[in-house]
């Protein structure tokens, strides 16, 4: 449901203005370089008209940067895109609920299911930590659309997703671009870099919309075994990169008896709440992340919880900041790992499937952390493709390399500090599926690794 709120939300904050329509329309027609200096709450029609007029003055195809992952401002975005005949839409890990007409070029540095295999996809390779810099250069935004809370005390919160959005807003402010917010009363209020001043937003549209939630399934046998092997290597006081999926969930289930654990991650899901309930987390250290996705119970926990600090991507994914965390333990996955400990997590048959994401950042950062380790965790056999995930040599661009260990349901293959022949031998003997070990040994001889 979309509600115009020239009275509703504006009455809840004294730093908005509700200009007469004629004045507002006149301002909108002045083009790209106007700023009210205070957020105006308008109806959807007014917001769409303002964006359309603004983009009409943009040279070339306008670029809209929007919240991605599971916090996209879908109602506002759909209305805006429908009125822009030609536009580049930049969103990280876009989901299938975004409707893209023929004039939309989906643009991203990390491909989600909503953009994957799209015929007009514009994929920009970049480590996630570097994406914010793109907005001040080659990917400068003309419009930024974010999904926030309702305002309070002259501020709004980005809620479930901070990520690269502060950088996009700053780039927009610097070049006279527009910033719009979908103001949702259901969005949790989170702290840290999530908090924005209303002066940083030009227009707000109040939309009462349910948030996307996720209910984790029960990890399968292979995932539980992989998770238990990783968990056995995590001690008290370690810092975790806690993602989403079967293996992270299974790993967390194996560390519930640990104490003093810390979280430094680009995203987390309900596993962190499980650790909190078990008393495994260090209550004196903030839980730090860049976006959150999970159950409604998780959203209720992060709402107005000062222990959860939402940080911008430049911070969470900076290898130097990751390396500064004690016993930093990163857990990532891949489509393939070869006998040189090179991982492909991005491409299938040369076509982009996802992207670098934060894997490179966290692999490097954890490897430099005192007592830290970077684990590559995956099944030894790909069930859908019916092939081994341990291969002689990856035939796709490499996403990451030099891991601490590669972990499968078969065992733990230690990599760090071993020479290349021992690495290959460990992968074959402890990580590869038994049915391909002889073939891999033969290939290893051909590669000079045996």
Query: Whole-angstrom Cα distance, residue 78 to residue 395?
Result: 39
DSSP state of 252: H
Strands (E), 178-260: 178-183, 191-192, 195-197, 203-207, 239-240
Catalytic residue among 107, 161, 246, 266: 266
Side-chain-side CA neighbours of residue 232 (13 Å): 10
How far from the centroid of its chain's Cα atoms is residue 321's Cα? 17
Q: Contact at 8 Å (CB) between 165 and 198?
A: no
**What is the C-alpha to C-alpha distance for residues 429 and 383, in angstroms, rounded to an integer?**
20
DSSP 198: G
| Residue 27: burial class (beta carbons within 10 Å; 0-12, 13-18, 19+) | middle
Q: State phi, psi for 128 to the nearest 5 degrees.
A: -60, -35
Burial class for 320, CB neighbours closer than 10 Å (0-12, 13-18, 19+): exposed
Q: What is the distance between the alpha carbons of residues 12 and 109, in angstroms, rounded to a whole number?
A: 37
266 is catalytic: yes
Catalytically active residues, by annotation = 266
């Amino acid at each position: 449901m979309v509600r115009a709120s020239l009275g509703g939300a504006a009455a809840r904050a004294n730093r908005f203005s509700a200009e007469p329509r004629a004045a507002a329309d006149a301002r909108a027609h002045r083009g790209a370089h106007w700023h009210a200096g205070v957020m105006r709450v308008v109806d959807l029609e007014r917001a769409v008209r303002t964006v359309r007029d603004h983009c009409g003055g943009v040279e070339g195809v306008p670029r809209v940067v929007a919240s991605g992952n599971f916090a996209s401002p879908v109602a506002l975005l759909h209305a805006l895109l429908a009125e822009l005949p030609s536009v580049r839409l930049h969103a990280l890990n876009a989901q299938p609920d975004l409707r893209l007409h023929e004039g939309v070029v989906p643009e991203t540095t990390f491909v989600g299911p909503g953009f994957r295999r799209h015929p007009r996809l514009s994929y920009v390779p970049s480590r996630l930590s570097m994406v914010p810099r793109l907005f001040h250069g080659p990917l400068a935004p003309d419009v930024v659309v974010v999904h926030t809370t309702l305002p309070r005390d002259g501020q709004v919160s980005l809620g479930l997703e901070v990520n690269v959005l502060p950088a996009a807003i700053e780039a927009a402010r610097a070049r006279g671009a527009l910033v719009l917010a979908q103001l949702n009363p259901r969005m949790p209020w989170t702290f840290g870099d999530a908090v924005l001043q209303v002066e940083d937003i030009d227009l707000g549209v109040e939309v009462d919309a349910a948030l996307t939630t996720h209910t984790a399934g029960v990890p399968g046998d292979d995932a539980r075994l992989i998770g238990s092997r990783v968990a056995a290597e995590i001690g008290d006081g370690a810092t975790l990169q806690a993602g989403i999926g079967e293996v992270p969930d299974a790993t967390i289930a194996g560390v519930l008896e640990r104490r003093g654990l810390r979280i430094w991650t680009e995203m987390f899901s309900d596993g962190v709440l499980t650790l909190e309930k078990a008393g495994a987390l260090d209550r004196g250290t903030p839980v730090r992340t860049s976006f959150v996705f999970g159950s409604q119970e998780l959203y209720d926990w992060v709402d107005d919880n000062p222990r959860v600090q939402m940080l911008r991507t430049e911070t969470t994914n900076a290898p130097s900041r990751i390396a500064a965390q004690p016993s930093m333990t990163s857990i990532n996955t891949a489509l393939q790992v070869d006998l040189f400990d090179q991982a492909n997590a991005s491409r299938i048959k040369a076509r982009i499937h996802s992207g670098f994401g934060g894997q490179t950042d966290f692999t490097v950062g954890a490897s430099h952390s005192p007592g830290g380790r970077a684990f590559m965790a995956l099944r030894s056999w790909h069930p859908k493709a019916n092939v081994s995930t341990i291969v002689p040599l990856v035939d796709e661009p490499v996403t990451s390399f030099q891991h601490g260990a590669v972990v499968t349901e078969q065992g733990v293959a230690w990599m760090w500090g071993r020479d290349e022949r021992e690495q290959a031998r460990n992968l074959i003997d402890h990580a590869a599926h038994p049915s391909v070990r002889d073939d891999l040994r033969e290939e290893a001889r051909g590669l000079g690794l045996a």
